[in-house]
Amino acid sequence: MGRLKTLATASTIATFVLVSIGGLVRATQSGLGCGTDWPDCSGRVIPLFSDYTVVIEYSHRVAAAVVTVLIATLAVTAVRHHRHHPKVMWSAVAAFLLVLFQAGLGAVVVFLELHADTVVLHLGTAMTLLALLVHLTARVSAHDGSRWTPDRGISRSSFAAAASVLVLLLVGSYLSGTGGTGGFRDWPLMDGQLVPDLAVKGQAIHFIHRVLAAVVGVIVFLVAVRVMKRKADMPEAARAAHVAGGLFAVEVLIGAANVWTGLNAAFVTAHLAVGAAIWATLVAMAAITSPALVADAVTERQAAAKPRRLAQASR
């Protein structure tokens, strides 16, 4: 499965880069850099790069095309050479169908001129695709001989932590599209108050985002500490826990910098990129501690090896 593992890893990395560029598009308000045209850009296949918004939006579309080609190659490889691993094959096919849906959704976002609800749905689909690719990479690695210590409780709690991070990301996306910082320039207080005027929509959404961030932070750190205590028997999961916990601490500081700088594009982009990295890390942690994934890999390895053993015995 060496080639499939390489393709799955490359697709995962490329999708993460695509999400990060999407954050840059949002941060610089470049979403309509190509106007409302799609898939062409301002009526051209290759536009006139007369403005930075065109460059950023076009780079996002090029990155999306690269991701689509990579995942298409991944799916074709899985169907042609790994039909005897059905869960691997169907995961790859599902990723391809999802990236096609994501491309169509991107067109809808442009046609509707970046309506907040469609942007949130676009991000949610991208995060789902990233999670599916992370899970597929973990599954292929298990087939390839990686040895992990399964633990149903840790896998479930890691998935729950990942789900809470996803909710936080989606609320943050909606906040970015509707209320920004709510007009606040201080952190952790809001205009010197612990609770702002919740009758103002932008302030209410921002307050919800901060409260949710605090709750999610507690969840992530509790799960991370639980896994870190198992470092001796599950070192890979413990490393992922260290990464998730460390990244969340960095994410809090970046969130504060967003407020202090009035949504500086660099910090807004980093905020989404680090959030996506936390999500992917927690999904990976849930996957590599999943008893079902490990058991499937063992069963399918044995099933694949059986014909080879019979062939050798008949010689």
> What's the average model confidence in pLDDT over 243-267?
92
Q: Name which residue leads in pLDDT, 130 or 183.
A: 130
Token pair belonging to 37: 């045209």
> What's the average model confidence in pLDDT over 255-279?
92
pLDDT at 301: 61
Token pair belonging to 203: 């302030």
Rounded to whole angstroms, the Cα distance separating 286 from 196 reads 37
Contact 25, 55 (CB under 8 A): no
Contact 186, 192 (CB under 8 A): yes
Contact 21, 122 (CB under 8 A): no
Answer whether 0.85 is exceeded by the pTM: yes
Half-sphere exposure of 203 toward its Cβ, with a 13 Å CA cutoff?
Answer: 15
pLDDT of 307 higher than 60 = no
Rounded to whole angstroms, the Cα distance separating 9 from 295 reads 22
Using a pLDDT cut of 70, give the percent of the chain over it.
Answer: 91
195-221: pLDDT as tens digits: 888 888 888 888 888 999 999 999 999
pLDDT of 304 higher than 90 = no
pLDDT at 244: 97
54-89: pLDDT as tens digits: 999 899 999 999 999 999 999 999 999 888 888 889
Burial 121-152 (b: 16+ CB within 10 A, else e): bbbbbbbbbbbbbbbbbbbbbbbeeeebbbbe
pLDDT of 30 higher than 70 = yes
Token pair belonging to 278: 């936390």
Those residues whose C-beta lies under 8 Å from the C-beta of residue 42, and which sit 6 or more positions away, are 34, 35, 48, 54
Q: Name which residue leads in pLDDT, 213 or 310.
A: 213
**Alpha carbon separation from 128 to 90, 101, 121, 170, 299 (Å, rounded):** 15, 12, 10, 12, 27
pLDDT of 310 higher than 50 = no
